[in-house]
Amino acid sequence: MTLSAFIEDVPSGIAGKVRASAGSEEQVLIQVATDMAGRASFGKRFLVVTDQRLLVLDSATDDVDIPLTQIERVRSDALIGGGCLEVELRDGAPVRVYYSNSLTPKFAEVAEGIGLLIQGEDPNLPLELDRTHCAQCSRLLPEKGGICPGCIRKRDTLKRLLSYMTPYKARALLLVGLTLVTALIELVPPYIAKHIIDDVLTENGDLGLLYLYVGLLFGLAVIRWIGNVVRRWLNTWVGFRAMADLRADLFRSMQFLPLRFYDKRKVGSLISRMNNDSDQVEGYLIFDAPFVLSNATMIVGILALLFYMNWQLTLYVLLPVPPILIGSSLIWNRLQGYWRRWSARWARLSTHLNESIGGIRVVKAFAQETREGERFDRRNHALRDVSVSAERSWLVFFMVTNFFMSFGAFFVWYFGGVQILDGQLKLGELMAFISYLWMLYQPLKWFGDFYSFMVRAFAGAERIFEVIDARSEPFEDPRATPIPHIRGHVHFRGAAFGYDPGKIVLRDIDLEVQPGEMIGLVGRSGVGKSTLINLITRFYDTSRGSVEIDGIDIQSLRLEDLRSQIGLVAQQSFLFNGTIAENIAYGKSNASFEEILRAARAANAHEFIIGKNDGYDMVVGEQGNKLSGGEKQRIAIARAILHDPKILILDEATSSLDTLTEKKIQEAITRLVAGRTTFAIAHRLSTLRSADRLVVLEAGKIAEVGTHEELMAREGIFYQLVQTQQATSAVMATEH
């Protein structure tokens, strides 16, 4: 039998050691590196497993060589910030291989693999784990198997921003053309002025020529004015559209991002990307970017003219430029740091705002208004301080630059004056020169300002693109199997899952559920009941084993088909700020009012709804705050009922209801679940009376499965749970 192998490259010294210890007929099955030398320090060590032995090697001499037959058990132990692979021996001290969290997924697999191997089975390791380094630039990836920010964003943030203009190409090009033309037209008037001074305003000047020049000036002014009006109009038109597209992209990406993404981020900081960052980009695209072009044209044009008119004088003008450039590059990093900090602090402020407004009831209940205010002040001051520092650095730089730049004018007056006195230069030329000089300073000064806007806008754009580039859920996968009509057969095959690698929540879940069956899930709080159903909806993917629906692995099913046929009443009922009717029809926006009524009746919500002033048109408030907990739950049930799912999931769907109301809903649900596969979670065990089978979870595993009677007869965990609940209600009854 050939076994599958999982081999990483090792240095030649280690490879030599492997050959020395293992005979040539032995097959190397696992060969991996760890990033910790012992338990105390970083370093390299290697774990090698052949079909005969297990070796732990490093460059030093204290290597381990153990025959597989000696191994009792292998497990990976999650530590804080890493883990430890523990090889227990039949006798003697266990072998421990430590690794940092970066390698936890790998070692979890390896431990499992060795475990299978010592039982004489194929270790069955994945041939390739998610990459941790970028294949192109070998930078560490911010997310395993993710995209390298360095490689993707080298495609220039600017280029990417501009790509948002492509749909409006015609107008964008017209905009560019107009910008160039108006900028060039700006350059003409001083030149005409020069001719007026030198050719017309002389002793034998020609009045006709003056008419011509003034007429020209007037004509140019009119053209320039029209050009500018059209340009601005186009600019707004294109800019705001591009921006709206960018925001739409951002929002879409956020919607399609997997829950894992949200586990790691704070909502406030994501919202700040939508608000602040896109504001920055918007300001840049609409107000600044067009000036780049026109000002750049002006600068180039003016410099060319200046050199053409008088190159010696031009050199004097440019004298202050080198020190300014050096100064800018010095201050550049510092400013960038400030802006980054500024963004981060905004995000923090926004997170706090989001939290304290969202949790206002809790804040008030604990009378923490003042303290929240103080917390806000701290963040607000931090933001203020960094804004001030940034602005101050900027201002100093700007002032110094300006001062140096104005030196150019002194030089020109002095050297130009000398040249006129020597008769080398005409007055008109000097006047034109000085006009151009001031025209040159204008865009140069502006470029300084613009610089800081640009840094801010680009930082914002990068943060937006970071979200857009994050890997979304595989909605568009063309290889996915469509499944328009789910029958409702659900099969867990050896499924295991943990939110964090190495910290397993569920393991060895084997469960086959027939179409139309109702399963009751029971177990202590935190045991993983909600997690189990998260695997059915594919909010998270199993880390081992699989979940099949109608015999097909859900990872290869079309996600949209899957989710659209699952009805979920989640543990925390969430309603959107809209009317009750809208909320019920959330999953089926084209539902008729009759359908909404029917669903509400089935969920036993109808009576309380018509008791409200606005009935079905009542606006429920943000997150449904204007309704009671039980009312919200009933609307959530109605929402799931209207969705007409093939698989129904009720996670503590009736926990906030009194027993009488619950009983009524129970009847409705019993009618509803007929023919639908149902998973119901409840702590109140009486809720699960109608379940066909009960599944008891304990310590991340399925401990008992069976009908109510079977489990009672078995007198196991479920029996005890029922006993305790009955005992408590008996105590309650006698106390009253």
Partner 1 sequence: MGSDNTQGETKSLNAITPITVTHPERVDIDALRLFREPAWVLRLTIEGDRSYTRIKIVRAAPLSHPDQYISFLDAKDEEICMIDSMDQVDEPARALIREELDRRYLTALIRHVTSIRNEFGTSYWDVETNRGQREFVVQNVAENAQWLGDHRLLIVDVDGNRFEIADLTALDKRSQAAVEQVL
Contacts with partner 1, residue ranges (CB under 8 A): 36-37, 39-43, 79-82, 84, 93-94, 98, 100-102, 104, 139-143, 149-150, 153, 265-266, 269, 333, 337, 340-341, 343-345, 347-348, 459, 462-463, 466, 500, 699, 728, 732
Q: Pick what 263 binds: ligand ATP, Mg ion, partner 1, none; C-beta below 5 to 8 Å, kind-dependent.
A: ligand ATP
Q: How far is CA 275 from CA 128, 278, 347, 460, 481, in A?
A: 40, 6, 10, 10, 38
Contacts of residue 51, defined as CB under 8 A and 6 or more positions apart, other chains included, come to 3, 26, 27, 29, 68, 117
**Contacted by 266, from Mg ion, partner 1, ligand ATP, none: CB < 5 to 8 Å by type:** partner 1
Minimum Å gap between C-beta 344 and partner 1 is: 3
Minimum CB distance to ligand ATP smaller for 383 or for 696: 696
Pairing outcome for strands 647-651 and 566-569 = parallel
Q: From CA 600, how far away is CA 615, in angstroms rounded?
A: 12
- Residue number, 44 or 683, with CB nearest to ligand ATP: 683
**Interface with ligand ATP includes 568 (CB under 6 A)?**
no
Q: Which of 530, 534, 583, 666 binds Mg ion (CB under 5 A)?
A: 530
CA 359 to the chain's CA centroid: 23
Nearer to partner 1, 80 or 367 (CB): 80
Give the residues across from 567 on adjacent strands: 648
The one of partner 1, Mg ion, ligand ATP, none whose footprint includes residue 292, by CB under 5 to 8 A per kind, is: none
| Part of the chain binding Mg ion (CB under 5 A), chosen from 25-33, 244-252, 468-476, 524-532 | 524-532
Q: Tokens at residue 166, please? A: 């492509």
User: Which region, judged by CB under 6 A, interacts with ligand ATP, from 104-112, 521-529, 577-585, 653-661?
Assistant: 521-529
Q: Does the footprint of ligand ATP cover residue 571 (CB under 6 A)?
A: yes
Q: Report the residue number, 525 or 734, with the smaller CB distance to Mg ion.
A: 525
DSSP state of 557: B
Does position 343 bind Mg ion by CB under 5 A? no
Q: Which is nearer to partner 1, 350 or 537 (CB)?
A: 350
Site mask for ligand ATP (CB under 6 A), range 234-273, x = bound: -----------------------------x----------
Binding-site partner at residue 319 among partner 1, ligand ATP, Mg ion, none, CB < 5 to 8 Å by type: none
* Residue 653: CB minimum distance to partner 1, A: 21
| Runs of H (alpha helix) within 257-266 | 259-264
> b vs e for 440-464, b when ≥16 Cβ sit within 10 Å of the residue's Cβ?
bbebbebbbebbbbbbbbbbbbbbb
What type of residue sits at position 214?
V
Nearest to 184 by CA among 230, 224, 229, 232: 224
Answer for which of 528, 567, 587, 645 binds ligand ATP (CB under 6 A) is: 528
Min. distance of Cβ 265 from partner 1 in angstroms?
A: 7
513 bridge partner residues: 490
Residue 363: contacted member of ligand ATP, partner 1, Mg ion, none (CB under 5 to 8 Å, by partner type): none
First to last CA, the chain: 71
Tokens found for residue 696: 């008891």
Find the binder of ligand ATP among 61, 204, 525, 734 (CB under 6 A): 525
Nearer to partner 1, 142 or 177 (CB): 142
Residues 6+ apart with CB under 8 A from 493: 510, 545, 546, 547, 548
Judged by beta carbon distances under 5 to 8 A according to partner kind, the member of Mg ion, ligand ATP, partner 1, none in contact with residue 531 is ligand ATP
- Binding segment for Mg ion (CB under 5 A), chosen from 40-48, 103-111, 425-433, 569-577, is 569-577
Q: Which is nearer to ligand ATP, 548 or 651 (CB)?
A: 651
- When asked if residue 538 is in the footprint of ligand ATP (CB under 6 A), the reply is no
User: Which position among 50, 253, 531, 604 is part of the footprint of ligand ATP (CB under 6 A)?
Assistant: 531
Report how far apart, in Å, the C-alpha atoms of 664 and of each of 145, 236, 604, 647, 667 are: 49, 59, 7, 21, 5
Task: State how beta strands 518-523 and 693-698 pair.
Answer: parallel
654 binds Mg ion (CB under 5 A): no
> In the numeric block, which tokens belong to residue 329?
């590059």
Applying CB under 6 A, which of residues 322, 423, 526, 551 lies at the interface with ligand ATP? 526
What are residue 648's phi and psi, to 5 degrees? -115, 135
What is the footprint of ligand ATP within residues 466-505 (CB under 6 A)? 499, 505
- Which of partner 1, ligand ATP, Mg ion, none sits in contact with 104, Cβ below 5 to 8 A by type? partner 1
Query: To the nearest whole angstrom, how small is the minimum distance from the Cβ of residue 44 to partner 1?
Result: 11
Report phi then psi at 660, rounded to 5.
Answer: -65, -50
C-alpha distances out from residue 364 to 369, 372, 377, 401, Å: 6, 10, 18, 52
Residue whose C-alpha is closest to residue 183's, from 449, 446, 429: 446
Tokens 């002040």 correspond to 377
- Distant-in-sequence, close-in-space partners of 677: CB < 8 Å, separation ≥ 6: 488, 489, 490, 513, 514, 515, 516, 517, 518, 519, 646, 647, 648
Helices marked H in 470-502: none
Which of 522, 531, 526 minimizes the C-alpha distance to 492?
Answer: 531
Name which of Mg ion, partner 1, ligand ATP, none residue 227 binds, using a CB cut-off of 5 to 8 Å depending on partner kind: none
**Contact mark string toward ligand ATP, 681..710, x via CB under 6 A:** ------------------------------
Q: Cα 711–716–720 angle (5° rounding)?
A: 95
Least distance from ligand ATP to the Cβ atom of residue 721, Å: 13
Rounded Cα distance between 481 and 557, Å, is 5
Closest CB to partner 1 among 4 and 729? Answer: 729
- Rounded Cα distance between 634 and 622, Å, is 17
Specify the residue, 65 or 508, whose C-beta has the smaller distance to ligand ATP: 508
| Position among 110, 527, 597, 672 found at the interface with ligand ATP (CB under 6 A) | 527
Interaction site with Mg ion (CB under 5 A): 530, 571
Interaction site with ligand ATP (CB under 6 A): 263, 499, 505, 523, 525-531, 571
